[in-house]
Structure 1
Amino acid sequence: MSAPTLTRPRPTAARTRVDTRLPWWALALPTLAFITLLVLILNPADAHATTGEPAITHLVERVQQLLARQP
């Protein structure tokens, strides 16, 4: 005598539908950042550089010094 097998009912289409709508800010913030960077590229006179050596130069020099000291 064989045992009856239980089958799961298929889920309806309404239950498996995924809501893929984005909130308004998920599109607005990257757009605003892109436009801001584009304006800075198009008008570089507004982007003022700092005087003196940048910190990245000091960091690279320090890494080179540390690598040169290793035995």
Structure 2
Amino acid sequence: MHAITDSTKKLPTSIKDSLTEIKGGFIQFKDSLTEIKGGFIQFKDSLTEIKGGFIQFKDSLTEIKGGFIQFKDLFTSK
């Protein structure tokens, strides 16, 4: 899945059209999370599960770097 391919400081808006993959539990990223570093992932309307609007990261993305973000009960809660 080539969701994050450019090395610019853009947000990964092309995770997929239908975010059914996330409904399962996580978003898997590529090696370099420089794109997200310093901000957040804003989702499209399709994510009714994360009715908050975005996932805000801490300033250190080392924990996510090289892996994924696993969602717990974020869905339908916010």
**TM-score for both structures, normalised by structure 1:** 0.18
Looking at secondary structure, tell me which structure has more helix per residue. 1
Higher relative contact order (CA 8 A, sep 6+): 2
